[in-house]
Structure 1
Amino acid sequence: MTVKTPVSAGRRSVRLASVAAAATLAGLLSGPGSAADRSDAVAAVSYDCQLPSGPEQVSVEVRADFPESGEVGVEMSPQDVSITVELAGTDLASLLPADATTVVSSATLDVEVAQNNQAAQAQWTDFASPATSLTADEDVRLVHAGQVPSVTAGATGDVTFTAGKLTLELHVAADGQRTEADPVVLQCERGAEESGRLGAVPVVGEEPSGAPQTTKPGEPGDGSGEKNNAITVTPQDEPAEDPANPCPVDPPVGEMDTSDAPKPAPGADLVVRDLPGVYPGCAYAVGVANVRKLNGAMIINDPAKKPALISVYANKRSSTRRPTQAGGSFTQFDSIGNLKLPDAESTFLTFGFQPVSAKVEFENGPLTISTGTAIPHPPVRENFAVASFKQSLRLYDVKVNGVALDVGNDCRTASPFKVVLRGDFTKDPKYTNVLQGGLMSGVVTIPAFSGCGTGGEDLDSLFTASISGPGNAIIMNQGTTCIPIEPSTICPATMPVIPGSKP
């Protein structure tokens, strides 16, 4: 439903919501969010899965952003879909080998798409979960993400989405990669008392003249794209995978900046060597950021929302010093990377009812990763890992209740700000080197905004007051780095877990 604002009050409403509109940046720093015309829905469904010991009840959560409305004859589909399955540790122990320590899962969910008295079947297939560690007798949450087919309605009325059969494939994994062992397949049926309703989208518009092309009433479609009972289900085109290129990113470019790395204790000179570097590779890094002024946290590079890959040249330079009477030993390896995040989009309700949406463009400089070991005097040993880069943010396409708030083409942070993250050696996984990854954390200061507003209206102070300032904590988890030409590395790159998502 659209709430219309009187013309006389429209501009005033936009101005009143300007401060709140600035707060969208908090949700945008994390990467893609929900669009202004979508509604997040979460459905908890109980399933009966066939285990060796017999049927067991399993909890499943399906999350999706459904369009707020659709139009006759126009494709639509839920976005940011995830399927989370909770399995008891004892159940997994009965399914997997006794020595299994990590599992990788894939999920396929049958979904009925219905409108009026017509229905079609869609398959939400090839949903994948990252490698998940197993701990004896502890329950496991498997979070699967993927894309879903689009739906085209040939008539007006609500289109409903209902969960049906669920199929899980469990693969034993080693070093984040599934092994050659055959998967364990679980067939799960929705509980008898469960409705399975995931969401509904009202469809409006002009219906085509003449009777729609249909099959027999009530006959489900096969998801092939053929019109069935005036509902068409079209699988999304998946990009072709190239096994020879598991890192579809350009090699990193730019200069390294090691000014934030530790300095060795006074002593003998360092021997610095420029190295050819390990061949270009890629890695995933996901994390959580806190926005101090808003007292909230957000996910960065969300695994459920098409996360971006870091391109990496590992070990481009080394700095070493052997232990002497003048000082202890020191070793440092410097690597360079590039992270190109997609433009993000977010929406939220201000004042409890006013929808505000905006988009942001990320401009990241080269990423420098320095790792090493300092032994100032034996047996003292200090490991270190530092990642740093500069970033700017540009805000655009701001809308308040559907009314554009013109911030101009150059509404951005007044200057780049530096992000410095340091290896966390108190938690697991510790950051050891750029090939193995691990946890890093730091605190950033977001600078003031400038260039916001047009026609003589200056909105800089509004955005600055809402977002800018120090004390914004970040913790990141980098997965293993894939080097396609190096057989000893794990390819494709492994997806790490979001920090804090597991005990």
Structure 2
Amino acid sequence: MTGPRAAVRGTARSRARSAVIAAFVVLAATVPMAAGAAGAAGAAGTQEIDAELPYVCLFPSGKQSATVRVSAGVPERVAAGEPIEPAEVSTTVELPQPAVADLAALGAADVRAATRLVVGVAQGEATAEATWRGDTQPTALPATGPLKLTATGDVPSMTGQGSGELTMTAGGFALDLTLTTADGGATDPGAVTVDCALAKDAPDGGRLAGVQVGTDEEGGGTQAPSNSPSGAPPASGTPGQPGQVPEEGLADRQGERAPKVAEPSPGGAVGDRPAPICKYDQKYPAGPMSLNAYITGYANVTKLDGAALIPPFCTLITQGEPQFEFFPDFSGATITQHSTADLWYQQRKQTPPFEATFLTFDFTPTTATMMLEQTGPVTIDSHGTTNFLFTSTDTYVRAPVVLRVTSLKVNGTPLDVGTTCRTRTSLASPDPEPEKYPGDHLVLHGRGEQTTGETATGYLLLSGGPLTGEVSIPAFTGCGTAGGENLDRLLTASVSGPGNYVKMIQGQACFVSADVLNPDECTEDGQPKKIPIAER
């Protein structure tokens, strides 16, 4: 959640804007719905959200109508200061036949979606926004008729900052679609983002639920929350009326008493361990060839002649079987190996949120909180030769990822970038085999060598090492808020472009599928023991 835009005028505003642009460059280099219990203390019961909402979505062929159904359980009432944690949340979107035809025209046979629903949170005049995220299972495109996709994923908790009804209202909706062909390959492009707006005729303006915060004595009133208009308080009114927030509980849109949305904290470190949790779980169980490893590094930002530090993040790897093709005289062989991987943080395919600060124009400190979100399969392809004593290998990591900004501070003052600020498409690198690997993705290369019985040098999948590449920053989209300044074009002109050098370091992988975990590689609970140090 980002803070409200502060009033800035004249030269100060211009400088702040320039500093904000510079903050975005730290993104250029980087390579569940958590079903929380709704029974917070003081809750009188649970109300079910079951809202069917009309949306208008922009597909390649133009605007199409779509239906989004939101289901969840939330408390009817909570004590003041108690978090509201939606439970058993699911978002189901039904795409009409013309939209399905658009996807089929790209060669897609199967689709997987990551969904983002912006939920407005209001208590009296105080407002905030939460993003309810979800992922779907791979789904085959139907030959005829609509396509229905059901997503579950991360839902932040919400906490009212005074007594009175806290309401939740659906807003913008987006789908990041990963497309695959009938033989399992990627389409061109391999991912499509579809942005949707709530239709003007949405029932109750998209209202999902209202939760009464505080007791009657605290001014919460006796009016039961409801999904009907009769249960919803007006947007403004005289303090003390039923269902209204009393005067001491009111917060203006710039105030600190706006409802709080509990997004993940930046950095993701756990206890004394300077890295987020990195292990397999029920949602992502380990297989017979499972590895996990941490990656960290630096990347140059060409336009501002600077570099950004990417803190350690987790990757879960499914190692492929090596394939050998022997030379005619059996003096050696070529080796190929195809593996796949996923970024993994709190059961989502993304990096942890992290902060970076640049001293920009006029030495103004600008801090951005951001993350990388995976939009398709990460592949790891190795090709090498061996004479059975000496082996050399070239490895290419291909990762389709978009860059997302969640908050900005300029000289300590929050600047609201909204909830949808990201690159329009994936980061893009030159690919040595563009026909075999179409579409936009980050490409990192590593070369490793090993003599039997000696320590490997360079990069190998198991032992890790340096991976380098160049990346282009795509255009930005969704940066800014409704009624505020649109930062898309400004950021694109100032930040986007090619030639940004990346150097990442992968640590020693933990072979979690082994019968006995190697104590040199793995912790007792199956996490990588080696947390690498970034190198310039």
TM score, norm. by length of structure 1: 0.44
TM score, norm. by length of structure 2: 0.41
